[in-house]
Structure 1
Amino acid sequence: MVGLIAMDAEDPVLLRDALARALDGGPALGFGMLGDAPDWVPRGTAVVIATSGSSGIPKRVALSAEALRASAEATARRIGSGRWLLALPGGYVAGLQVVVRSILAGTEPVALGGRFSPDAFAEATLSMLRPAPGDGIPELYTSLVPAQLSTLLDAAADAPVRAALQAYRAILVGGQALPEPLRERASDLGVRLVRTYGSTETSGGCVYDGVPLETVAVRTVDGELRIAGPMLADGYLGDGELTARTFTHDEHGIRWYRTGDLGLVDDGVVRVHGRADNVIVSGGINISLDRVERIVRRVAGLSGAVVVGVEDARWGEASVIVAPRGEALRRSESDQLVQAREAVAAELGKHARPDRMVLVDELEVLASGKPDREAIRRAVVDLR
């Protein structure tokens, strides 16, 4: 067994030092852990990250030093190695891997100070371009979520921001779907993006631009994407049943992670179609539409509403309330949306608030009488 230390990821220097010790067999680090976190974890564990799945209930993902190293090394083989800008929280796997990659590259990550902004991004990037005495200008890398990229592209008319974006050999973009218009805008500016797919359970992104990293295998079983490789998590701390359901072995003894995502592998290229459960990823955060819907339906006039997820240019995905006319029209539509957004924010957080509301004459239903969510979602998309 090895000790587990609750870690505050705010200080990048302390984070790097503590993570370097954890990768070398020292005390494991716990991120987002609740008060009942254990003091000890199995030997080999480097970090434990609390994350939410489709139920919104936190899961404690245990990652070994071997898994984190395997992920970082595979990334370096694919895109190269250099100096990294830490623009994401270090307590999330994408931010944590920026630090791991820096440790393995023998470099110091540069962290944005304060709130993310185009000016802060440009200033931090400029500082990285100043070579140390005797050294050349390093290759620059960073990892962003689409919402951050959108903010930077909106500010790219400012020369320093545009130059900063163009300075990176690769900008990894993950955490949620990357809208095609956003990718095209970046390409037009000469910004080198790498679209990533993965999760905390895979030590972060393990499929780059649709192609699995060198040590990664991806296949589908009954339409669900499954991933194998040395970067898989050991499982969920304290939940052997969930671990057994999520990580399975095939007839050859190979261990696979059940992603819960629907998709296919076409001539070696992974294509993700969406969640098998009723979850969207907005701004890099998992949001259970079932939970949002239950709260929305408590608002007067919205008892029959359905909440669906649609693509969003800024956040990757967003939720939309679809309600039948009639009872909804007895009150102001804008008042209902405000009340619904406030109710969801109070219970789940601001990130889960529905984006808008659409009124229809009647909701599409299946033969069972249940809402035909896919038909409803398509109708909402057609309205845009």
Structure 2
Amino acid sequence: MSSPVLSGSYDLSSLGWNDSLSAELPAGTVPARVARVDRGAAEVIGADGHLQVHYGARVRRAAAADPVALPCVGDWAALRRLPEGRFELDGLLPRRTAFVRGGVGRTSRGGLSDDSQGQVLAANVDVVFVAEPALHATDTADLGRIERLLALAWESGGQPVVLVTKADLIGEGLDFLMEEVATAAPGVDVHAVCSLTGQGVDIVRGYLGGTRTAVVLGASGAGKSTLVNALAGETVMETQQVRAGDGRGRHTTVHRELIPLPGGGLVIDTPGIRRVGLYDMGEGVDMVFSDIEELAERCRFADCAHDSEPGCAVIEAIEDGTLPERRLTSWNKLQREAAWMASRTDARLRKEQQNRWKVIHKEMRRAGRNRP
């Protein structure tokens, strides 16, 4: 595979390149932004536009140690020119933000489950659009999925926004659905969108512009690619109708892709997400359940578990109808999962440290035997 020499004809500042990133660029390399990834290679947007590059040895070693270090759509990459004239992806610049999900690994040879390993779905994003479809009036939104994606969105460092897509299909039930979704997303903007009629598309576009980057996340059939096409003003991603009978979407988009928009800004389309595991949670879950956190401050006991303790403000809110019981159930579930993931991550890191010390001690013993 050959790559063109980057001559500087493409304005990388339109993709978000700035002086801060320039200061991080290793000597002897040129910048490009990752638009799409494949096994061992990536499509990047460099000074001459799009080109394909393979991963260098440095990147492969880093990714073998930690999958989060794999190049991802939205990353800024350092490309190094090889003697034969082509470029390779030599390293990644520090990420400003990253949307990472957990629980996507397989069993490791060390006996520990790699469920604690993460996968970066999008990097250097300013806005995280969580798309939830309004299919028909008898359906309710998957509020648990929304809460889970919002926890990861808050943790990513991007601004979360919920989009109730296909809003034209629900009719008079839209207002009720919007209120229901709003209860699962305190402090987050919630908008109704219909990409086919144009409803809400300008509102979505308002979050972009300049060099801001957004990622659209959601289940298959949520209308993510249709929305991206509406934002782009042309068909840049293939779309399909949901399956007849079960209303579920097909996986039309099979890869993540960074798309510069004609009016400014960039958007990352993603395949439908089936599994959304939490990863390395800080305050993400607390942000999603800020209503429960505020109520907990009024509980009689500081260590209240919100179960059967006297003076529990959370239980009182459920009893008087101001807090849906479903919210407390979901909060407990995500808190347990976040704690479990933290314990698995700690165990994996301890195991990796033990393995490193074994290698060091082995080398020390070998050096001792070889002394004259």
What TM-score bracket applies, with the shorter chain setting the length? Answer: under 0.3
Considering Cα pairs closer than 8 Å and 6+ residues apart, tell me whether 1 or 2 has the greater RCO.
Answer: 2
What's the TM-score, normalizing by structure 2? Answer: 0.25
Which structure has the bigger radius of gyration?
A: 2
Q: Which has the higher strand share?
A: 1
What's the TM-score, normalizing by structure 1? Answer: 0.25
